[in-house]
Structure 1
Amino acid sequence: MTTDENPMGAEDGEGADSGPSGSSESTGALVARVLGFDVGDRRIGLAISDPLGYTAQPLFTLHRAGRRADLKSVARVLRKHGVTEAVVGNPLYMSGDQSPQAAKAQAFAEDLRTEFGITVHLWDERLTTTQAHRHLDDAGHAAMGRKGIIDQVAAVLILQSFLEARANERARS
């Protein structure tokens, strides 16, 4: 596995908001975090929620090395951050039909459920890569060299959208 630095400067999840044991704490209690995934054929962007579940931050980009190696890397992240829930981007066509890449993302989501027994949500990610490029343009990030972080930014957008929808649902209840 190789990783690319995230836009915040932390690599492979190091330096993320975590306590001394690697688990995040809020008012002294351990809080389960949500992990977001932007799944591609060559790379997987990862993002993680803050301890309160309000915001998403980039974690790192996992360069795919085969199913077993990918899941081993994910297992380390799940343990390190106390993750019990995941959101996997589901890249549907604009019509809402399933794309070939959506089938791959759904298979990855099922691997997460089966291997780790965590709750996994599939989340509509149409246009997130386009949005990710716009965010990087707005931040003045040069088009060259985006390959390493674009997947992380897309994962942040997927996870943030999920977190906001969840908060809105809770507010309505």
Structure 2
Amino acid sequence: MHDIDIYDLPDLLDRTQRLIGLDPGTKTIGMAVSDRNFTVASPIGTIKRTKFKRDAEELKAICLDRNIGGIIMGLPVNMDGTEGPRCQSVRTLADNLQTIAGIELPIAFWDERMSTSAVERFLIGEADMTRKRRSEVVDKAAAAYILQGALDAIQRHLKI
């Protein structure tokens, strides 16, 4: 059950559940969670990618521990709006999380164009972070940026 319309996610969760935002990269998966009202995204960490089974077990444990009811995955769409190999990789990860790892949560995708570069610019300009420190936080911050964009869209949709 993935490629759910993002606006349908709130209706698929109960009032106690939250959303997790994922920024899947080749080396890490950045993570952020929403509050129960779907208004604020908070970065929570990264999973250092190793073997799929171990990564999926770690994600599954986090989802259970934090009462997650749905997943929003950043989709790295090309600047011209087309989907390339990186998008296919994210879609395959979503398929595998559900079919192989048994994570039975609805998954929606959110266009993550420019999320990492926007976060990098902020960390350099506003937060004045060193390169080493930025590398430690950029993935989870990008996940929060992705999730916050999706939450803002959901909130705008709910007010219509």
Structure 1 length as normaliser, TM-score? 0.79
Give the structure 1 partner of residue 146 of structure 2.
158
> Could you tell me how far apart the structure 1 residues matched to 2:115 and 2:121 are?
10
Does residue 62 of structure 1 match 2:47?
A: yes
Moved more, 60-69 or 134-143: 134-143
Deviations 1:97-144, CA, capped at 9 Å, x for gaps: 112211111111222333221110011000001111022121121223
Does residue 104 of structure 1 match 2:89?
A: yes
> Could you tell me how far apart the structure 2 residues matched to 1:152 and 1:113 are?
22
Do the aligned residues in 2 keep the contact of 1:109 with 1:122 (CA within 8 Å)? no
> Could you tell me how far apart the structure 2 residues matched to 1:161 and 1:110 are?
23
Give the structure 1 partner of residue 78 of structure 2.
93
Overall identity of the aligned pairs, in %: 27
Corresponding letter in the other structure for 1:170: L
Task: Please identify runs of 4+ aligned residues in structure 1 that moved more than 4 A.
Answer: none
Give the structure 1 partner of residue 16 of structure 2.
31
Give the structure 1 partner of residue 67 of structure 2.
82
> Could you tell me how far apart the structure 2 residues matched to 1:69 and 1:132 are?
28
Corresponding letter in the other structure for 1:101: R
Higher helix share: 2
User: What is the RMSD computed on CA atoms of the aligned residues?
Assistant: 1.4
User: What's the offset of the Cα at 1:30?
Assistant: 6.2
Give the structure 2 partner of residue 128 of structure 1.
115
Deviations 1:41-91, CA, capped at 9 Å, x for gaps: 110100000232110000001100111011000011011011010000000
Corresponding letter in the other structure for 1:125: E
> Could you tell me how far apart the structure 1 residues matched to 2:96 and 2:19 are?
17
Corresponding letter in the other structure for 1:157: Y
Does residue 46 of structure 1 match 2:46?
A: no
> Could you tell me how far apart the structure 1 residues matched to 2:77 and 2:150 are?
16
The structure whose RCO (Cα within 8 Å, separation 6+) is larger is: 2
Runs of 5+ in structure 1 lacking a partner?
A: 1-28
